[in-house]
């Protein structure tokens, strides 16, 4: 009797558990009070509409980065080229950075025109005084070969001029490779050396100078050697500046290159007329310089011509001081 009553009670509890589980399954729309988030309701800031949670964020306040407009990447633009170099006292790197700058070939071209002009002035004087050249070593080579067989009396002067020129080109050329052929500091050094030599020669040839080193004197070779040393340094500088149209000494190759230039008839400002224009400027500077040197030599004397050449070298130094450096493209 007792066992049957116990069995009936167990069945009743099982049925109650199943009925309560079924009731919870049917009532899915009502959330459980324990699962409801504990948030505070705040009124709409605009004064109307339903309240919004303080913990909720407006989608417009934090836009999705995936929906943001795409920005085009900036291309690597070369910096705007300067017309003139800023003075060293306005630089963070100071004088060291100023002298270490490399000057592009296009900014060295005006200085090479001045160098060619001064070379024309000087050669007109040296040939008139010494019957030999200081920078045109093509002519000196021919004169030297002629002098060997006795057809030209100035064997010693021609040989000294050629040897001094070659020695100077060797020394200054290798110094340029060591220091940087287009570094502002090196261009200053070699041009100032040329100017100093010219001023020394002007003193030697002046009326107050020694007649022993003047043309016709027993030591005239010393003055001619100084002229050739200056010319060797000048031509080495010009050739290493990567402007092949302005060697500042020979003329034959420039004449041929100009006549054979396929762009010879283009207008002056045509993009392809750059080499032709540089050859024209070089040839014109040499011719005008030679005429001016001959006129000054005739009416004022050799020392005035040399003095003018020295001041032309100082003008080259001033142009190099103002020349804009190469612009390094930043990433």
Tell me: the pLDDT tens digits for 51-102? 444 444 554 555 555 555 555 555 544 444 566 666 666 666 677 888 888 9
Instruction: Give the dihedral sign, CA 160/297/318/107.
Output: negative
Domain ranges within the chain, ordered by starting residue = 108-322
CB neighbour list of residue 201: distance below 8 Å, 6 or more residues apart: 223, 226, 227, 306
CATH code linked to domain 108-322: 1.20.1250
What's the pLDDT band for 178 if we cut at 50, 70, 90? very high
The predicted pLDDT at position 69 comes to: 56
Give strand pairing partners of 323.
Answer: 84
The predicted pLDDT at position 175 comes to: 96
What's the pLDDT band for 11 if we cut at 50, 70, 90? low
The predicted pLDDT at position 63 comes to: 56
What's the pLDDT band for 140 if we cut at 50, 70, 90? confident
Q: Show the tokens assigned to 297.
A: 């030599």
The predicted pLDDT at position 181 comes to: 92
State yes or no: pLDDT of 298 exceeds 50.
Answer: yes
State yes or no: pLDDT of 4 exceeds 60.
Answer: no
Q: How far apart are CA 121 and CA 227, in angstroms?
A: 12
Kindly report the pTM of this predicted structure: 0.71
The predicted pLDDT at position 245 comes to: 87
State yes or no: pLDDT of 34 exceeds 60.
Answer: no
- Confirm if 238 and 250 have CB atoms less than 8 A apart: no
The predicted pLDDT at position 292 comes to: 94
CB neighbour list of residue 254: distance below 8 Å, 6 or more residues apart: 245, 247, 279, 282, 283
Of residues 222 and 244, more confidently modeled = 222
The neighbour count for residue 240, using CB atoms within 10 Å, is 18
Question: In whole numbers, what is the pLDDT of the chain averaged over residues?
Answer: 79
State yes or no: pLDDT of 286 exceeds 90.
Answer: yes
Of residues 249 and 45, more confidently modeled = 249
What's the pLDDT band for 136 if we cut at 50, 70, 90? confident
What's the pLDDT band for 224 if we cut at 50, 70, 90? very high
**Which of 42-56, 257-271, 287-301 comes out lowest in average pLDDT?**
42-56
Average pLDDT score over residue span 263-283: 92
Average pLDDT score over residue span 266-286: 93
- Confirm if 107 and 208 have CB atoms less than 8 A apart: no
The predicted pLDDT at position 21 comes to: 52
- Confirm if 134 and 161 have CB atoms less than 8 A apart: yes
């Amino acid at each position: 009797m007792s066992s049957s009553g116990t069995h009936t009670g167990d069945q009743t509890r099982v049925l109650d558990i199943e009925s309560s589980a079924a009731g919870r399954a049917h009532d899915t729309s009502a959330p459980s009070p324990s699962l409801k988030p504990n948030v505070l309701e705040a009124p709409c800031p605009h004064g109307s509409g339903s309240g919004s949670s303080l913990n909720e964020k407006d989608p417009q306040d934090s836009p999705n980065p995936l929906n943001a407009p795409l920005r085009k990447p900036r291309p690597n633009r070369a910096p705007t080229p300067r017309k003139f170099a800023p003075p060293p006292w306005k630089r963070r790197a100071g004088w060291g950075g100023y002298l270490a700058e490399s000057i592009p070939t296009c900014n060295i071209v005006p200085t090479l025109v001045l160098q060619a002009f001064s070379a024309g002035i000087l050669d007109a004087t040296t040939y008139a005084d010494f019957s030999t050249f200081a920078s045109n070593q093509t002519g000196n080579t021919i004169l030297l070969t002629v002098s060997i067989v006795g057809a030209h009396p100035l064997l010693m002067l021609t040989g000294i001029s050629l040897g001094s020129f070659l020695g100077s080109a060797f020394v200054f050329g290798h110094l340029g490779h060591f220091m940087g052929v287009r570094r502002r500091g090196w261009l200053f050094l070699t041009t100032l050396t040329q100017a100093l030599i010219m001023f020394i020669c002007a003193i030697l040839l002046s009326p107050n100078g020694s007649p022993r080193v003047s043309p016709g004197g027993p030591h005239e070779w010393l003055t001619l050697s100084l002229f050739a040393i200056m010319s060797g340094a000048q031509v080495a500088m010009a050739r290493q500046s990567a402007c092949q149209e302005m060697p500042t000494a020979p003329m034959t190759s420039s004449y041929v290159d100009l006549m054979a230039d396929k762009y010879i008839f283009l207008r002056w400002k045509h993009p392809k007329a750059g080499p032709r224009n540089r050859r024209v400027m070089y040839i014109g500077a040499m011719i005008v310089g030679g005429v001016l040197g001959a006129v000054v030599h005739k009416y004022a004397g050799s020392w005035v011509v040399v003095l003018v050449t020295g001041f032309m070298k100082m003008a080259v130094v001033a142009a190099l001081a103002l020349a804009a450096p190469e612009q390094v493209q930043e990433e």
